[in-house]
Amino acid sequence: MGSDCLVGADIANDFVMGYNGTYRDRRRKKGDVMGKSKIGVIQMEKGMEHWLHQVSQLVSHIEQWIQQQPVEQIYISVAVVVIASVFFVLLHRVSRSKANTIVFAGLSGSGKTILFYQLRDGSPHQGTVTSMEPNDETFVLHSELEKKGKIKPVRVVDVPGHSRLRTKLDEFLPVAAGLIFVVDALDFLPNCRVVAEYLYDILTMASVVKKKIPVLILCNKTDKVTAHSKEFVRKQLEKEIDKLRTSRTAISAADVTTEFALGVPGESFSFSQCQNKVTVAEASGLSGDISQAELFIREHVKP
């Protein structure tokens, strides 16, 4: 019995000694880690102090340089920096917006808004009323919703066709990747002159010509039996624009948007003479036949 107690005591003593040794090892390791952490913090603080010292010296040098310069030169330098900064910010915004913006234009009643809804929702929404404000939305084309992979959204802007609201077009053309000019092919002849005048104004705008914005003349409502074909619409518009060239002054002080002449002097006008690409296609907003409009959009707004 006594020997058993002694053995038990030895075991307990070994356990205590082992535990104490393990505890001391852990404390030693913990102390090493904390020591390394403190060293790291001290080094970081020294690095920060060195960096702040360098910044302070740089600021001091700049202040000395500024004090040595004439006041006029300082103002000019600041102005140049500010103007350059604003320019690059605006350039970045314009280039970023232009990458995916398609503008719809045309007379009231031509079907622009129905085409807008078809592109967005795949539905004409039981017809529409005349728009008084632009429809401006960014979305994935409805026909591409089921496609796999990353599809780039398109910003589509439907500009009202009323004559007093067409000036809103100026807000969006500078960022347009393309313009779709919608023509009512069903009721075309009575409005041919007015349509040609509006299209003439667009094709001679500085923002369209300088940026060579592609234009699609989209003959809408071609599902109707009495609608005119795209070739008929194209030829009639070319004839009317040819007449307008002789009755209008291309450069007008009263209208700074009309800065460029159309066509080739001495030759009958055709859309192929335009500095920007002009094409003609057909569509039907009500029936949902808008494939030509979608092809134009994806040609100029890459997925």
Q: DSSP states of 200-216 as a string?
A: HHHHTBHHHHHTT--EE
Residue 237: other Cβ atoms inside 10 A: 23
Strand order from edge to edge, sheet including 178-184: 135-139, 154-158, 101-106, 178-184, 215-220, 278-282
Single-letter code of the amino acid located at 18 = G
49 vs 267, which has greater pLDDT? 267
Residue 21: pLDDT band with limits 50, 70, 90: low
pTM listed for this prediction: 0.66
Residue 267: pLDDT band with limits 50, 70, 90: very high
Model pLDDT, residue 90: 55
Q: What is the mean pLDDT of residues 191-213?
A: 95
Rounded distance between C-alpha atoms, residue 48 and residue 51, angstroms: 5
Rounded distance between C-alpha atoms, residue 129 and residue 108, angstroms: 10
Residue 5: pLDDT band with limits 50, 70, 90: very low
Q: Which of 96, 104, 168 is nearest to 296 (CA)?
A: 104
Q: Strands 101-106, 178-184: parallel, antiparallel or unpaired by DSSP? A: parallel
Q: Kindly list the distances between the CA atom of residue 242 and the CA atoms of 3, 270, 272, 281, in Å, as whole numbers in the listed order.
A: 125, 8, 13, 21
Model pLDDT, residue 35: 56
Rounded distance between C-alpha atoms, residue 103 and residue 134, angstroms: 10
Rounded distance between C-alpha atoms, residue 249 and residue 255, angstroms: 10
14 vs 263, which has greater pLDDT? 263
The answer, yes or no, to whether residue 117 has pLDDT greater than 50, is: yes
Instruction: Using DSSP, state whether 289 is helix, strand or coil.
Output: strand
- Looking at every residue in the chain, the average pLDDT score rounds to 81
Rounded distance between C-alpha atoms, residue 124 and residue 201, angstroms: 29
Helix (H) or strand (E) run with residue 42 in it = helix 2-68
**Integer-rounded Cα radius of gyration of the chain:** 36
Could you tell me how far CA 73 lies from the centroid of its own chain? 38
With a CB cutoff of 8 Å and minimum separation 6, the contacts of 77 are: none
Q: Which of 292, 300, 161, 294 is nearest to 230 (CA)?
A: 292
Q: Are 154 and 178 in contact (CB under 8 A)?
A: no
Rounded distance between C-alpha atoms, residue 195 and residue 201, angstroms: 10
Model pLDDT, residue 140: 94
Q: What is the pLDDT of residues 45-91, one digit of tens each?
A: 777 788 888 888 888 887 777 777 777 776 777 777 667 665 555 55
